[in-house]
Structure formats: C-alpha cells, structure tokens
Amino acid sequence: MSTLPAFLVLILFGAASVATWGAGIELSKSTDELDRRLGIGDALGGMVLLAIAGSLPELAITVSAAASGHLDLAAGNLIGGIATATMVLVLCDLFAARPLTYLVGSLLPVLEGLLVVLTVAAVLMGAVLPRSVAIGGRVSPASVAIVVIWIGGVWVMNRTRSHPMWEVVMAGSRPGRPHRRVPHPVADAARATHSMLRVATVFGAASVVTLLAGVVLETTGSELAHRAGIDGVVFGATVLALATALPEISSGIEAVRLGDHQLAIGDVFGGNAFQLCLFLVADLVAMKPTLPTTGAANAWLAALSLALTAVYVGGVIVRPSRPKRLGPDSILALLIYAVGIVGLLRIVQ
C-alpha cells in the first residue's frame, strides 16, 4: 500500500466507504427480515448475532488494525466512533417534524443510553489498568467486563420491554414501531415476498462485502493518516468513524421518515454499547491488552461520548417541544462535539 500514489489510496478509501454504505444498508434490511422470520432476536444469543451483523464494519477494522499493530487506530475507531454515531441523531433530528426526543414516547432509550454509559465507564477504568493486569497475559479484565455488562444490559432491556413495571404517558409523541421485528406495512412489503434463500443470500453477500470493505478502510485509512501526519486516534475517531457510520446515517434517516422515532435513537445507543465489546476481539487478535494503550486522547473521546449520550438521554426525559427542525438538545450536542474535536486536536499536538 505504501508504494501506491496518494490519489489512488484515496480512491480506494472512498470506494470502500461507498461499499460499506451500500452493503451496510442491505445487511441491515436483510438482518431485520431474517429476525422477523426466524425470531432470532427473542433469545439472548440471537441478540448477540444481530449486534455483530450490525457492527461488521467496526469488527473488520478492529481485527485488521489489531493484526497489523495499529492499536491506536482500533481504539480510536471504537471509542471515537461512539461520539460520531451519536451525532447521527442530529441528522435524524433534521428530518423529524419536531425534536426527535419529543417524539420518542418511551423511556427504553434512556435504559439503552445508560448501558452506553456503563460500557464507556468500563473502558475508562480499563484504560488506567497497568498492562501487567491481564488474563493470560493477553486479555484485559475490563474487556471481559464490557462484554458481561453488555449481555446483562440486553437481558434487562428485553425483560423491561416484555414486562414493563411502569406506564409512560407522553402527549404528542409518535414512537412508531417498538421493534424492527414488527414489519412496516409499506417499507417491508416488497421484501416480505422474497424467498428465504434470497434473503439469506443477500445477507451473506452483504456481510462479505462489508468485511472486505472494512479491511480496505483500515489499510488505506492507516496509510492516509501516516502520509498526512495525522494521529491514528484522531483519524480513527473522525474520518474512519464517519465512514463506518454511513449505514447508520441512512437507516436512521429512513427510520425517522417511516415514523419510527424510538428505533432511530435505540439503534444508535444499542450499536454504541455493543461496539465497545470489540475491545475483547482486539485483545485476542493483538495477543495483548488494547485498553492500556488508549492514552489521553481516547480518554477525552470517551468523556465526549458520555457527554453526548447524556444530552440525548436528558432530551428524552425533558422532551423539548418547540416546533423547530433542530431541537435544542441537538444544538447542544453540536456545540459539545465541536469543542470535543478541538480539544482532541490540542491533546495530540
């Protein structure tokens, strides 16, 4: 890769981004259809499978970066990707009739946001552990703890969704479908006529394309960052994170247009919580703990992710109601994100 001209590396990066976007959209839709037909999300193992399918770009980048020794790029993409993915809600807000958090009409996104807070907190604690504290000398205890926290959180949310112990009344809300397992009467009508073989083939093909595109993104992204003299954490948390968030941008905007406001927020928070579980994968591939190598830049990104998550969790509870396309919580999120990126640039200087 180092022998290729810069413009060609940039073209490859752009092509991989487009492939990630297109394949990610098809992967999301085919995963939803498989879930509806097989009911795989009803069990905890099914939830894990669905989460992995939705995070294949990040998985490919994590494995490729850890295998090549670019742990800063892997950590930056995983931690910084949370902040970038949360900013997808700003774009969703632009397409909503009123502030997105006003329309949600459910407290389940609050639980999902709290799960993000718990997993990010585990990342911050794992980052300060000495490298000598490792299971078998390879895996950080914090990486294992993140997976345990995520599994426990998913179990709690599934139980709460099935047997709510409270009743919420939010006048004027339009939450939409409670789960993607519920077919949309218009958007999913054509896909429902497809054969099981066709749905499974699309799922498999989209998975392969997404994985290959993720490897290309990591390889070309690392090379572009090196040639431009950009810190790997900064590149992973911004440009690379944006490229892998393209499917979430598309699916989030589509959810808002279909009226599925609760799903738009839930998908972002759910993906963010699971994404940090990939630190365990990074440890196993690199054969050493990844979290202790994250440094101050990733600690800053983790704090930024917590702040942005708190803004939208608070927005769901406060429910800003002014009839403006961009809610005050999204405006605040934009300001916090801008300050966060400026601060990140100062830290890595």
Give this prediction's pTM: 0.87
Residue 190 has pLDDT above 70, yes or no: no
Range of lowest pLDDT (244-253, 271-280, 302-311): 244-253
Separation between Cα atoms, residue 152 and residue 165, nearest integer Å: 18
Residue 323: what pLDDT? 66
Say how far apart CA 183 and CA 163 lie, in whole Å: 22
> Average pLDDT for residues 192-218, to the nearest whole number?
82
pLDDT for the residue 110: 92
Question: For 21-35, how does the pLDDT look when each residue is reduced to its tens digit (9 = 90+)?
Answer: 888 778 777 777 777
pLDDT, position 278: 93
Q: How far apart are CA 103 and CA 174, in angstroms?
A: 5
Examine the pLDDT at 46 and tell me if it is beyond 60: no
Dihedral in degrees, nearest 10, Cα atoms 83, 86, 87, 93? -170
Show the CA angle centred on residue 285, arms to residues 226 and 341, nearest 5°: 40
DSSP 188: T
Buried b (16+ CB within 10 A) or exposed e, 11-21: ebbeebbebbb
The pLDDT tens digits for 152-176 are 998 898 888 888 888 878 888 888 7
The per-residue pLDDT for range 53-99, each reduced to its tens digit, is 778 888 888 888 888 888 877 888 888 889 998 999 999 998 888 88
Percent of the chain surpassing pLDDT 90: 24
Question: If you write DSSP's letter for every residue of 267-308 in order, what string do you get?
Answer: HHHHHHHHHTTHHHHHHHHHTS-SGGG-HHHHHHHHHHHHHH
305 Cβ partners below 8 Å, 6+ apart? 79, 80, 82, 83, 86, 116, 120, 272
User: How high is the pLDDT of residue 184?
Assistant: 67
Q: Could you write out the DSSP letters of every residue in 93-125?
A: HHTSSS-HHHH---SHHHHHHHHHHHHHHHHHH
